Amino acid sequence: MTSKLGKLLTEQRNPNSMNLDTASIRDILDIINNEDQIIASRVAEQIDDIEQATILVDKAFQGDGRLIYVGAGTSGRLGVLDASEIPPTFNASPERVQGFIAGGDTALRTAVEGAEDFPIDGRKLVDDIKVTEQDVVMGIATSGVTPYVLGSLERARELGASTVFFTCADRSHIDIDVDVLISVPVGPEVVTGSTRMKSGTATKMVLNMISTAAMVKRGKVFENLMVDLKATNVKLEDRARRIVSTITSCSYEEATDLLIKSDKYVKVALVMQKSHASAEESRLYLDRYAGNVRQAVEELEKSHT
Q: Catalogue the active-site residues.
A: 85, 116
Q: Is 65 in a helix, a strand, or coil?
A: coil
Q: Where are the alpha helices (DSSP H) in 63-197?
A: 73-90, 106-109, 119-128, 147-158
Q: What gap in Å lies between CA 269 and CA 135, rounded to an integer? A: 33
DSSP 111: -
Q: Are strands 180-183 and 162-167 parallel, antiparallel or unpaired?
A: parallel
Residue type, 82: D
Phi, psi of 144 (to 5 degrees): 90, 0
Q: What gap in Å lies between CA 164 and CA 107, rounded to an integer? A: 23
Q: What gap in Å lies between CA 74 and CA 90, rounded to an integer? A: 24
Q: What gap in Å lies between CA 297 and CA 268, rounded to an integer? A: 10
Q: What gap in Å lies between CA 152 and CA 158, rounded to an integer? A: 10
